[in-house]
């Protein structure tokens, strides 16, 4: 969904498609399509060996909005501080209006682009609240949805761009200005009503780089017969149980495209996929990708043809000695938010942030009295680089008994680091989930009060 990001890559590699079009050689290889899902059917049970970690069947009343404990609405034409036109050149304004995004009462989510009398387009783009969909070490992650693409073709479809995709968790607090290094997995994209789909991984740097940006590592165009007139199952599996690791893309259960980890260097691969993701559903209008295949929207483009989503779910399988099981308790701070290891990653230097309290292992802290260190997921709360200056960020690191990992609880609720003579601080008194914490002069302010597990 990201396109050729402007000067500062912020958005989906949608622009990547420009290069695909330049090649103009469309791959029409088609996997044999299995039986497509039925509209309004219940979410199928997890296959043997898999566990469901998230799902939504969109069973709300007709005309209602989404469950905002599961979803958030993107509004306007960019992320705050991100690239204009969502980084892809698309022309619509995203809204939370039930004219654009609603449940139909029949078990489907409807995302409907509309053109007003002045020729301006609105549409919908929604993201999962959760950003921690990740493959356990030695296991697998599967993101899946049953979707009917907008049922429109020819001149009436010019500019339509429906998509189901995922971004690395670190994109959210940065307005995706760190794209494409944080990883983007495009599970289904279609443009201009071509009854086809594209699957892509965006990673590395842009332009060019190890992942061929802004095109990304792509399947090219694959025929998708009946995908505009009925529901079909689109899925990706990230498999960490094989060597090299793989991303496998599926249409109705048929694996039509695979990316192997050794197609890029280890650092690029790890940065792109070794972390949590959040999922996105949207219908864009116009932009670099549709332009590469004829352009649009035009005066002939039909308004109001929706993408329908029957269900979305996330499954995981296996563990292979991954993160240790949750232990300890939450540490709550200013605004009732919890101290959180971003995306449950155990990578050194992973940001420690404030986040909505959710009971995940990333928020289960253990106070180790000897040395007063704080442990989560087997690692320690650490001052980046052992810094001592105001504003030095706090992250996760191997427990190493250094002074950068000493946090002494004070009677006023602060956590004091003697080496720096500073306290753990909620940066800027923030109540925005995803804000990384820092050290600052000890002030006794509410943004330095932390309620520790007993």
The residue-averaged pLDDT of 301-323 equals: 85
Q: Which residues, listed in sequence order, are joined to residue 185 by a DSSP beta bridge?
A: 166, 201
Please say whether the beta carbons of 183 and 201 come within 8 A: yes
Give the C-alpha separation, 131 to 241, whole Å.
Answer: 22
CATH T-level topology, domain 13-317: Jelly Rolls (2.60.120)
**What is the CA 381 to chain-centroid distance, rounded?**
25
Give the C-alpha separation, 85 to 444, whole Å.
Answer: 42
Which of the four CATH numbers 3.90.1010.10, 2.80.10.50, 3.40.50.300, 3.30.70.260 does domain 334-448 have? 2.80.10.50
Helix/strand/coil for 448: helix
**What is the per-residue pLDDT for 39?**
57
- pLDDT, tens digit, 9 for 90 and up, residues 424-450: 999 999 989 999 999 999 999 999 999
User: Taking the CA of residue 445 as centre, how many other CA atoms within 13 Å lie in the half-sphere pointing to its CB?
Assistant: 17
The residue-averaged pLDDT of 181-186 equals: 96
Helix/strand/coil for 317: strand
**What is the per-residue pLDDT for 120?**
98
The residue-averaged pLDDT of 310-320 equals: 87
Res. 375: pLDDT tops 70:
yes
Pairing of strands 93-94, 121-123: parallel
With tokens 């929604």, the residue in question is 126
Res. 87: pLDDT tops 70:
yes
**What is the per-residue pLDDT for 369?**
54
**pTM check: above 0.85:** no
Domain ranges of the chain: 13-317, 334-448
- Ramachandran sector of residue 16 (left: φ over 0; alpha: ψ -120 to 50; beta: rest): alpha
Cα dist from 183 to 71, 180, 273, 315, whole Å: 20, 6, 6, 19
Percent of the chain clearing pLDDT 70 (strictly above)? 88
In this prediction, residue 454 has a pLDDT band, given cuts at 50, 70 and 90, of low
Give the C-alpha separation, 134 to 185, whole Å.
Answer: 12
The residue-averaged pLDDT of 130-134 equals: 89
Give the C-alpha separation, 27 to 24, whole Å.
Answer: 9
**What is the per-residue pLDDT for 318?**
86
């Amino acid at each position: 969904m990201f396109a050729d990001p402007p000067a500062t890559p912020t958005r989906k590699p949608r622009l990547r498609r420009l290069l695909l079009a330049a090649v103009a050689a469309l791959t029409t290889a088609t996997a044999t399509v299995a039986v497509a899902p039925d509209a309004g059917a219940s979410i199928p049970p997890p296959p043997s060996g898999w566990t469901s970690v998230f799902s939504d069947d969109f069973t709300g009343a007709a005309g209602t909005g989404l469950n905002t404990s599961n979803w958030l609405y993107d509004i306007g034409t960019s992320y705050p501080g991100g690239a204009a036109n969502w980084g892809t050149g698309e022309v619509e304004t995203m809204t939370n209006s039930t004219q654009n995004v609603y449940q139909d009462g029949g078990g489907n989510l409807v995302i409907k682009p509309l053109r007003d009398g002045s020729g301006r387009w609105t549409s919908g783009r929604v993201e999962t609240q959760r950003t921690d969909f990740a493959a356990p070490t030695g296991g697998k992650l599967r993101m899946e949805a049953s979707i009917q693409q907008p049922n429109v073709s020819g001149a009436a479809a010019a500019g339509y761009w429906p998509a189901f995709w995922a971004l690395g968790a670190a994109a959210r607090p940065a307005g995706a200005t760190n794209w494409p290094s944080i990883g983007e997995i495009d599970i289904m994209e279609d443009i201009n009503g071509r009854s086809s789909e594209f699957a892509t991984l965006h990673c590395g740097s842009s332009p060019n780089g190890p992942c061929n940006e802004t095109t990304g590592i792509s399947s090219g165009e694959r025929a998708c017969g009946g995908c505009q007139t009925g529901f079909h199952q689109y899925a990706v599996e990230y498999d960490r149980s094989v060597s090299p690791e793989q991303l496998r893309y599926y249409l109705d259960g048929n694996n039509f495209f695979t990316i192997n980890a050794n197609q890029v260097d280890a650092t690029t691969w790890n940065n792109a996929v070794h972390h949590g993701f959040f999922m996105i559903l949207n219908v864009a209008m116009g932009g670099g990708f549709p332009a590469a295949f004829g352009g649009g929207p035009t005066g002939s483009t039909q308004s109001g043809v929706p993408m329908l989503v029957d269900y979305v779910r996330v499954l995981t399988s296996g563990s292979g000695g991954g993160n240790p099981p949750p232990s300890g308790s939450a540490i709550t701070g200013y605004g009732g938010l919890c101290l959180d290891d971003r995306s449950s990653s155990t990578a050194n230097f992973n940001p420690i942030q404030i986040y909505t309290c959710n009971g995940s292992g990333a928020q289960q802290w253990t106070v180790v009295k000897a040395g007063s260190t704080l442990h989560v997921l087997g690692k320690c709360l650490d001052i980046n680089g052992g810094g001592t200056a105001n504003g030095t960020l706090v992250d996760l690191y191997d427990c190493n008994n250094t002074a950068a990992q000493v946090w002494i609880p004070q009677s006023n609720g602060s956590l004091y680091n003697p080496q720096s003579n500073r306290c753990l601080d909620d940066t800027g008194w923030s109540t925005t989930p995803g804000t990384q914490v820092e050290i600052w002069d000890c002030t006794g302010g509410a943004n330095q009060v932390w309620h520790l597990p007993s």
